[in-house]
C-alpha cells in the first residue's frame, strides 16, 4: 500500500483547499503538516523542497509537487477525474480556469482592508452572478446531464461545488436565479465522498479568520 499524500500548508483554506477537495472527492485520505512559523517555511526553502519558494507543497508518489494547478491536474489524472480524451480535458481545463478566477477573488478577500470589504464583496457577487454562474447554468441546462463534462464526475464538478459553497457563505442567496446550479449543488453534496468531506471533523477547513490571516502574513513577512 502506497503512503498517503502529505500536504504542507497553513491550517486554513487558501491555495490548498482545492487540493483537499479533489483528494477527498477521489476518496483519498491524506496527511497534513501545518505551517505556523517563519522558521518552518525557511527550512523548507533551505532544504530545496519548494521549487519556487512557494507553498502549497504536496508529496505524492515520490514527487514533491508545488504549484496548485500542476498538483490538481496530477491528482485529477491519477484518479480518473480528467475526462476520457483530449477534448474533454480541454473543456475541464476551461471550466476549472474560469472557476479559479472567481476563487482567486474569494481567496484574497480576507486580506483586503476593512474599508474595501464591502466593495470586494459586491465584486464577488457581480462576477459570480453575471460572468461565471450563468455559464454553468447554461451548460447543465443544454446537455441535461448530471455532470459538466462527458456525463461523468470530474475535476470540474469538484471545483464548481467548492466555488458555489464558498460564494454562498458570503452571499447566501446567490443561487436564487440558477435552478440548474441549485440541483447540481444538491447532487454533488450527496455524493458519498463529498458528503463525507462536508461533515464536521473532516479535513475541510473553515472560512479564514483573523488568526489564519495573521499566520500567513507572519510566515511570509520579509
pLDDT of residue 15 exceeding 90, the answer is: yes
Query: In this structure, what C-alpha cell is assigned to residue 40?
Result: 518552518
> In this structure, are residues 17 and 162 in contact, taking their beta carbons and an 8 Å threshold?
yes
Instruction: Identify whether 1 is part of a domain.
Output: no
The answer on 12 and 40 residing in a single domain is yes
200: number of Cβ within 10 Å: 5
How far, in Å, CA of 142 to CA of 139, rounded?
5
**125: containing domain:** 86-190
At 110-155, the pLDDT tens digits run 999 889 889 999 999 999 999 999 999 999 999 988 999 999 999 9
E-assigned strands of the chain?
A: 6-9, 31-34, 57-60, 63-66
Instruction: Identify whether 58 is part of a domain.
Output: yes
Mean pLDDT over 69-75 rounds to: 96
Residue the block writes with cell 477537495: 21
Residue the block writes with cell 476563487: 103
Amino acid at each position: 500500500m502506497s503512503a498517503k499524500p502529505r500536504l504542507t500548508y497553513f491550517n486554513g483554506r487558501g491555495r490548498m483547499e482545492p487540493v483537499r477537495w479533489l483528494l477527498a472527492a477521489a476518496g483519498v485520505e491524506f496527511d497534513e503538516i501545518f505551517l505556523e512559523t517563519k522558521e518552518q517555511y525557511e527550512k523548507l526553502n533551505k532544504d530545496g523542497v519548494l521549487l519556487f519558494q512557494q507553498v502549497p507543497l504536496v508529496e505524492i508518489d515520490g514527487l514533491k509537487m508545488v504549484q496548485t494547478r500542476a498538483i490538481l491536474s496530477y491528482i485529477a489524472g491519477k484518479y480518473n477525474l480528467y475526462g476520457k480524451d483530449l477534448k474533454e480535458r480541454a473543456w475541464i481545463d476551461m471550466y476549472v480556469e474560469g472557476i479559479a478566477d472567481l476563487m482567486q477573488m474569494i481567496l484574497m478577500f480576507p486580506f483586503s482592508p476593512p474599508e474595501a470589504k464591502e466593495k470586494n464583496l459586491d465584486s464577488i457577487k457581480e462576477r459570480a452572478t453575471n460572468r461565471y454562474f450563468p455559464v454553468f447554468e447554461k451548460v447543465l441546462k443544454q446537455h441535461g446531464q448530471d455532470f459538466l463534462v462527458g456525463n461523468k464526475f470530474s475535476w470540474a464538478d469538484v471545483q464548481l461545488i467548492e466555488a458555489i459553497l464558498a460564494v454562498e457563505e458570503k452571499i447566501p442567496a446567490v443561487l436564487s436565479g440558477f435552478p440548474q446550479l441549485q440541483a447540481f449543488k444538491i447532487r454533488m453534496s450527496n455524493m458519498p465522498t463529498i458528503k463525507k468531506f462536508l461533515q464536521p471533523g473532516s479535513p475541510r477547513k473553515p472560512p479564514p479568520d483573523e488568526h489564519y490571516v495573521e499566520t500567513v502574513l507572519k510566515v511570509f513577512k520579509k
